[in-house]
Amino acid sequence: VSLPGATLVEIRDQQSFLELLRLGEAHRHAANTKLNTESSRSHALLMVHVKRTVKGREPAHSSDNGNSSSMARSLRPPLVRKGKLVVVDLAGSERIDKSGSDGHTREEAKSINLSLSALGKCINALAENSAHVPVRDSKLTRLLRDSFGGTARTSLVITVGPSPRHRGETASTIMFGQRAMKVENMLKLKEEFDYKSLARRLDIQLDKLIMEHERKQKAFEVEIERIKAEAQNQISEAERNYADAVEKERLKYQKDYMESIKKLEEKWMMNQQNQGNER
């Protein structure tokens, strides 16, 4: 429904709501007629949209069995419960010959009466279980379509005057209330899954997992480099130990060889001396 001049405002506390309500009331137009010194020249409609996010329900056959259950809970989208409070102050129906409206005030009265007539037609159709309900006949009925015959809880307050002069309007108002009482609404809690919130949460979890993976990958690479360096050091040390052992063995062999040669030379010298003495 297109409503030029209508404003949608986000509020977060009661004080802001009351200030906004007073601002709307201050902009409401009234005029002086023969019947009312402050006759409302329009309907007033306050529409409050409430959204509440709750945790998703547990599956009917779920069982907590470690990681699989935790993963299932994390992938369960939160539930969004949406509600709408509509408070309407309808301008009263006006007989122009009684109110004495003229000019612009007369045109306002015609518009008010036309919208109230459209609302009355919708109530009549619903009370008679008609297949067609003419909700598109006015902006007022299109705005209130959820409040009658829909899924809302609706309360209707009608006001009448005590003067016998207005008995016709009083009777019509009472009959309108009686017809409205026949309309049945089917109350229903409106819930839907907040997949956008789930997607944002999964994106955050994915970023965390990627960062954790990169951290572990870097730590793994550092550990691999440490193990390689340690293994290289061990190989180098083993090579040095092997070279030292070979050198020691060579020196020992050389020493033993030289000692053997020396002993043989000494033995040969002794034999030569003994032979000389015998001659």
Q: Write the pLDDT tens digit of every residue in 124-142.
A: 998 888 888 898 888 888 8
pLDDT digits (tens, 9 = 90+) for 210-242: 999 999 999 999 999 999 999 999 999 999 999
Judgement on whether residues 170 and 216 belong to the same structural domain of the protein: no
Cα angle 172, 176, 179 (rounded to 5 degrees) comes to 140
Burial degree of 126 (CB within 10 A; 0-12, 13-18, 19+): buried
Q: Domain with 87 in it: what CATH number? A: 3.40.850.10
Domain limit, last residue, from 193, 227, 242? 193
pTM of the model: 0.56
What pLDDT does 36 receive?
64
C-alpha 19: how far from chain center: 28
Judgement on whether residues 116 and 242 belong to the same structural domain of the protein: no
In order, the DSSP letters of 170-189 are HHHHHHHHHHHHT-------
Residue 26 lies in a domain: yes
Q: Residue 243: pLDDT band by 50, 70, 90 thresholds? A: very high
Judgement on whether residues 38 and 113 belong to the same structural domain of the protein: yes
Judgement on whether residues 80 and 104 belong to the same structural domain of the protein: yes
Residue 207 lies in a domain: yes
Average pLDDT score over residue span 197-216: 86
What pLDDT does 211 receive?
92
Domain limit, last residue, from 157, 177, 193? 193
Instruction: Answer for the pair 163, 187: CB distance below 8 angstroms, yes or no.
Output: no
Domain limit, last residue, from 193, 225, 240? 193
Judgement on whether residues 120 and 169 belong to the same structural domain of the protein: yes
The one-letter code for the residue type at 266 is E
Enclosing H/E stretch for 203: helix 195-278
Judgement on whether residues 19 and 86 belong to the same structural domain of the protein: yes
Judgement on whether residues 82 and 118 belong to the same structural domain of the protein: yes
Please give the residue range of the domain that contains residue 67.
Answer: 14-193
Q: Residue 59: pLDDT band by 50, 70, 90 thresholds? A: very low
Enclosing H/E stretch for 32: none
Q: How many domains are there within the chain?
A: 2
